[in-house]
Amino acid sequence: MIDRAFTVAALALAMLAPAARLAAQGPVLPTLRTALDATADVAEAAPEPAPEHDALAADMADGRTTRGFARHRILHFTFDDGPRAATTPRVLETLDAYGVRATFFVVGRQLEGARGEGARALVREMAARGHTVGTHTWDHANLTRLTEAQVESQLERSERAFEATLGGRPWLVRPPYGARDARVDALLARRGYTAMLWNLTSSDTVTRDPDVMVERFRAQLDRQERHPLGPGGIVLFHDTHEHTVEALPRILDEVRARNCALLEQPGEELWDLAGDPRLYFQARQGTAAATSVRLDAATLAARQTAVRAEAETYCR
């Protein structure tokens, strides 16, 4: 029954019309126009991914380990442990509604054989919608507790599952639990992986209450504004939890509400929900970790112009 549910959910996700999907969800916050208010907003916020989109991020191979610190108000959303039939399709729908692209770190074992048919369909759907997909190892093992051969097996088996699903191996990896050491880092580097960690969290593993998740996220952004490495970051979610599905649109609305306030302050940089993880990429140099991201003036200005134009639409 689980396998059938996976398949049905994936097919329904691909076939459901945008207007019907949004009608079933309704508004999230009454204080500003949200992406779930009207199908017209969805058409503007969720453009078709570019034909050259590489969901496996091959051009991010051989990068430094990053936690996502950035000197600007830039956030990138990431989701671990999926896909799950009951929740991942709804996460994808919410991201589409808000025009947000993310990175999904997939557990390879879920893509295996006939039982993984539905999961493979969902991963292909992630790629088709313009998201990036990385590996979360074969079966969510703590790599620091494994032998070298076992770590290699975790990566090789996951790569084979990705090749059967998307036609190639992944180049981004998130070690389960964020557990890594010098030995694991060296093994990942040997296979060309770029490890993407996080510096902000949705708190979805420490609470099942969406209200608490939103409050904690709000507090984190407040603290991050004062962080010496800058306000930006990579945010950790899990697309396998019902409470994450419920909290996600409210967290997105929190970012939008902050932008609406910042619009009233001339010269203030707005929060940029960056869909491309390449903004955080830095080529590997020995064992050095990534430094805090600083965009050049032209790139920052172009991105802020686009973010401001979008905010002027949803803040009306």
Q: Give me the CATH number covering residue 102.
A: 3.20.20.370
Residue 262, domain member (yes or no): yes
* 80 carries an active-site annotation: yes
**pLDDT tens digits, one per residue of 72-107:** 999 999 999 999 999 999 999 999 999 999 999 999
Q: Choose the weakest-confidence range: 10-19, 46-55, 125-134, 282-291.
A: 10-19
**pLDDT tens digits, one per residue of 24-60:** 333 333 334 444 443 333 333 334 444 578 999 999 9
Q: What is the pLDDT of residue 30?
A: 31
Of 76, 238, 241, 243, catalytic: 238
Residue 166, domain member (yes or no): yes
Q: Choose the weakest-confidence range: 4-8, 15-19, 160-164.
A: 15-19
Residue 41, domain member (yes or no): no
Residue 25, domain member (yes or no): no
In which domain, by residue range, is 91 found?
2-10+51-314
Residue 20, domain member (yes or no): no
What pTM value is reported for the model?
0.85
**pLDDT tens digits, one per residue of 180-219:** 999 999 999 999 999 999 999 999 999 999 999 999 999 9
**Reported confidence tier of residue 22, pLDDT bands at 50, 70, 90:** very low
Residue 28, domain member (yes or no): no
* 181 carries an active-site annotation: no
**Reported confidence tier of residue 316, pLDDT bands at 50, 70, 90:** confident
Q: What is the pLDDT of residue 107?
A: 98
Give Cα separations from 229 to 68, 73, 178 (angstroms).
10, 11, 20
Of 37, 41, 80, 81, catalytic: 80
Residue 220, domain member (yes or no): yes
Residue 45, domain member (yes or no): no
- The percent of residues in the chain predicted with pLDDT above 70, rounded, is 84
Number of structural domains, the chain?
Answer: 1
Q: What is the pLDDT of residue 239?
A: 98
Q: What is the pLDDT of residue 31?
A: 34
The average pLDDT across 284-298 equals 95
**pLDDT tens digits, one per residue of 244-256:** 999 999 999 999 9
Q: What is the pLDDT of residue 115?
A: 84
Q: Is the pLDDT of residue 135 over 80?
A: yes
Q: What is the pLDDT of residue 51?
A: 52
